[in-house]
Structure 1
Amino acid sequence: MFSLSRHALGHTRNFALIAAARWRQPNPLVGVVAAAAVPIARCFADSDEGKTTNPSKANNMENKSEKVTVNKEELRKRLTPLQYQVTQEAGTERPYTGCYNKHYEKGVYQCIVCHQDLFSSDTKYDSGCGWPAFNDVLDKGKVTLHRDASIPGMVRTEVRCSKCSAHMGHVFDDGPPPKHHRFCINSASIVFVKNAAAPTAASTTTSSKK
């Protein structure tokens, strides 16, 4: 588990307060002053170092996933209202409420819409921001990055599933070394699949009796 510097932790707490304020007040202009006080999040480069880059170049990540067409009506039936709002309308769940915020079992986190593998539990850490945080993706081709200026006074880098274009969350450059990535992901946009390689106590007992 990693720990952020006091400076980075201050950034994440401020962002969590801004997101919470947006949920309490539907008016998108509320929180403009607070948002403007938060340093603008920089796009990370398509490289191992994670340095600053041009947002337009960030969109050119290698895409190894086959695109799928999403049926919105079927999704409304299959997903919860929150899952649909987050993945299809670029919504954000309230901080500290997601089921995967403090979840550390071994396994893989998939896109809730198309079930593409996106993140590994090996890269998950407690950032203190109120949302599940990962310092890397399973593969660069698993996600696409997009410039997001939806909050007045802030420019963020949106993360979407490369296969179905579902909104996942955002990525920031205040994560742990060596890459300094913090993929801030909504629990409502992902589903956890437990690592089947590790045998359970029940299966171990059964095997020993044979």
Structure 2
Amino acid sequence: MFSLSRHALRHTRNFALTAAAKWRHPNPLGVVAAAATVMPIARCFADSDEGKTNPSKANNMENKSEKVTVNKEELRKRLTPLQYQVTQEAGTERPYTGCYNKHYEKGVYQCIVCHQDLFSSDTKYDSGCGWPAFNDVLDKGKVTLHRDASIPVVISKTLGMVRTEVRCSKCSAHMGHVFDDGPPPKHHRFCINSASIDFVRKAAPAPTPTSSKK
């Protein structure tokens, strides 16, 4: 009994010394592994080539917009049921029904929730998909991209189970999805719900004052 207790005491002391040594000299690989486990799924939009050649530069493209907290009850009063379902519940409006599907006035498209500018009419094009389509965003920090595996294979074998969801970087409202079948050179097609955006018409240029002759 005495020898067994002495062995247990020695084992406990060795364990304490080992733990203290690890505390004084932490394993950097362990730190990296721990950090990798908490890496968020969301990422800011960045060109794939640039991210591959210069990862540090891609990481610097983090959105600088100040995040806002959404009041769900207030939104229910301000938005239509469809706008709320799309932006807050990741719903999708029926194709060819959105007010901006065939809309080509000059201006900017904002998030319907927080009014952040997201897309320009200069990048809007008719993709024939039934939803407003843009080949780029106003700025790479305006949206975040998320893995979306909500489509079962039995419903769509062509699209597959995984899509890339687009959310507003400021309020996290659901906008739609982005695909890689858009026009060159970037081949992006941001397929956006009309119910998630609002249009602000581009202001007409101020008339140039004419000098009166004496």
TM-score range, shorter chain: 0.5 to 0.7
Change (3 A) 1:9 1:176: farther
Structure 2 distance, partners of 1:170, 1:83, is 16
The structural deviation recorded for 1:198 is 2.0
Greater Cα offset, 24-33 or 132-141: 24-33
CA contact (8 A) 2:110 2:199 kept: yes
Which 4+ stretches in 1 moved above 2 angstroms? 1-51, 53-61, 202-210
Structure 2 distance, partners of 1:46, 1:166, is 22
CA contact (8 A) 1:67 1:163 kept: yes
Structure 2 distance, partners of 1:84, 1:17, is 58
Q: TM-score, normalised by structure 1?
A: 0.68
Tell me which of the two structures has the higher relative contact order, counting C-alpha pairs closer than 8 angstroms and 6 or more residues apart. 1
2:50 counterpart residue number: 49
Change (3 A) 1:12 1:100: farther
Structure 2 distance, partners of 1:138, 1:148, is 23
Cα deviation 1:167-204 (Å, max 9, x = unaligned): 0000000000000000000000000000xx325xx989
What are the ranges of 5 or more consecutive residues in structure 2 without an aligned counterpart? Answer: 153-159
The structural deviation recorded for 1:46 is 3.2
Change (3 A) 1:206 1:112: farther
SS at match of 1:67: coil
Change (3 A) 1:159 1:27: farther
SS at match of 1:169: strand
The structural deviation recorded for 1:45 is 5.5
2:204 counterpart residue number: 198
Change (3 A) 1:204 1:157: same
Larger gyration radius, structure 1 or structure 2: 2
Structure 1 distance, partners of 2:161, 2:93, is 18
Structure 2 distance, partners of 1:14, 1:100, is 70
Q: TM-score, normalised by structure 2?
A: 0.66
